[in-house]
């Protein structure tokens, strides 16, 4: 039997746990896993591109458990009443190869992306940052805001989205939670006075969400929307002014903002910063850029955290998706009755 977390159970777990608590718990698990980075079997995600989007598989293993996520990215989906990103994931036991957990991951991805962004910003953002600009207030945005509040104490948000409805929704969801929200009329206005800038837009183009003049010294950029070949958000001149931090260079050079740069442009891997082997922020004037694309180990960490949280609860059901005959060499016994159906010939 495999533990199965469907959307209703994910909702129940989150309502009872609290979204900010879950993000913090995932962030703690991320730190543990980033610190043992070299133990992981890892690879850039396997992507199948189409005109309108991408479908990806994201595997990783620590030698004890194996995990993968199925995820899509279709920026034109909301216009058809569909989500840009949906996902599900699996954990398996490396010793037997059997799956142990199967979970919805559309919500879990939003949690793990917020946890990753905030966990990284806690190390790179300027000391005492309380104000964040958010460019793009779609699906991921509320989770980002909650993650930054819990891990950094950010409570003041300056928002901009080309879709007024997305800003309405964000304000409706976040104002009751005590955020101080300023609704800007452009990206340039949104970034004024912000110590952290999150770009979280979705368009399968090389967009320029931020121009060079909008990024002042000392700012931390949390650039999460550019995550696919031909899909970026930042003016390349910003990348030349700042220090760039990444998850897994082999994947980020294909998918991240740095696809705009030479293949040998220096970047720092976040796991090295978390281990104290590489510098993070070194001065108040430094521009730090987290060129986030989303990496398989983050999904592994989120699934690992969820799996532990399920112990002793009823936030899951069990599904019978492993065909397991009593005699492991007699799979036929499970379906033998089908052989007795008379054939016409």
CB of 251 to ligand NAD, least distance (A): 11
Comparison of 100 and 260: residue with beta carbon closer to ligand NAD: 260
CA dist 183 and 189 (Å) reads 9
Handedness of CA 230, 236, 242, 243 (dihedral sign): positive
CB of 179 to ligand NAD, least distance (A): 17
Handedness of CA 320, 322, 323, 325 (dihedral sign): negative
The site for ligand NAD (CB under 6 A) is made up of 73, 75, 78, 84-85, 109, 113, 135-140, 160-163, 166, 200-203, 207, 209, 224-225, 227, 292-294
Q: Of the candidates 42, 21, 86, which has an alpha carbon nearest to the alpha carbon of residue 247? A: 42
> At 224, phi and psi to the nearest 5?
-110, -10
Comparison of 5 and 184: residue with beta carbon closer to ligand NAD: 184
Per the structure block, which two tokens stand in for 328?
């492991």
CB of 269 to ligand NAD, least distance (A): 16
- Active site includes 291? no
Q: Which residue has the tokens 């890892």?
A: 42
Comparison of 152 and 223: residue with beta carbon closer to ligand NAD: 223
CA dist 263 and 253 (Å) reads 7
3 state SS of 225:
coil
Q: Which residues contact 233 (CB under 8 A, 6 or more apart)?
A: 135, 199, 201, 207, 208, 209, 210, 223, 225, 226, 257
Checking 78-84 for CB contacts under 8 A at 24+ apart, the result is 78/138, 83/139, 84/138, 84/139, 84/202
Comparison of 89 and 225: residue with beta carbon closer to ligand NAD: 225
CB of 288 to ligand NAD, least distance (A): 16
Comparison of 49 and 218: residue with beta carbon closer to ligand NAD: 49
**Closest residue to ligand NAD in the complex (CB):** 138
- Active-site option among 62, 161, 227, 235: 227
Per the structure block, which two tokens stand in for 311?
């112990």
CA dist 222 and 113 (Å) reads 11
Comparison of 295 and 316: residue with beta carbon closer to ligand NAD: 295
> At 298, phi and psi to the nearest 5?
-65, -40
Catalytic residue numbers, as ranges: 227
């Amino acid at each position: 039997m495999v533990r199965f977390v469907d959307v209703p159970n994910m909702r129940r777990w989150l309502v009872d746990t609290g979204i900010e608590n879950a993000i913090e718990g995932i962030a703690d698990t991320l730190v543990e896993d980033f610190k043992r980075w070299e133990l992981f079997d890892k690879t850039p995600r396997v992507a199948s591109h189409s005109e309108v989007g991408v479908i990806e598989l994201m595997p990783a293993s620590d030698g004890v458990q194996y995990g993968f996520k199925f995820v899509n990215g279709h920026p034109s989906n909301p216009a058809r009443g569909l989500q840009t990103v949906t996902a599900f994931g699996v954990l398996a036991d490396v010793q037997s190869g059997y799956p142990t957990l199967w979970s919805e991951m559309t919500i879990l991805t939003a949690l793990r992306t917020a946890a990753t962004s905030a966990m990284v910003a806690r190390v790179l953002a300027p000391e005492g940052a309380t104000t964040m600009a958010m460019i793009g207030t779609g699906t991921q945005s509320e989770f980002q805001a909650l993650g930054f509040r819990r891990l950094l104490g950010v409570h003041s948000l300056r928002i901009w989205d080309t879709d007024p409805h997305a800003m309405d929704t964000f304000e409706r969801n976040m104002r009751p939670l005590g955020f101080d929200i300023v609704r800007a009329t452009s990206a340039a206005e949104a970034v004024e006075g912000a110590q952290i800038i999150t770009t979280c837009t979705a368009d399968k183009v090389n967009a320029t969400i931020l121009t060079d003049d909008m990024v002042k010294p000392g700012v931390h950029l949390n650039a999460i929307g550019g995550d696919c070949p031909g899909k970026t958000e930042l003016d390349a001149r910003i990348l030349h002014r700042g220090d760039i931090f990444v998850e897994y260079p082999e994947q980020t050079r294909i998918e991240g903002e740095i696809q705009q740069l030479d293949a040998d442009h220096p970047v720092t891997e976040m796991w090295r910063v978390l281990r104290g082997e590489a510098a993070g922020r070194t001065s108040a004037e430094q521009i730090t850029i987290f060129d986030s694309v989303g990496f398989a180990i983050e999904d592994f960490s989120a699934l690992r955290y969820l799996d532990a949280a399920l112990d002793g609860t009823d936030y899951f059901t069990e599904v019978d998706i492993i065909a397991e005959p009593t005699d492991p060499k007699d799979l036929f016994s499970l379906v033998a009755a089908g052989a007795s159906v008379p054939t016409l010939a």
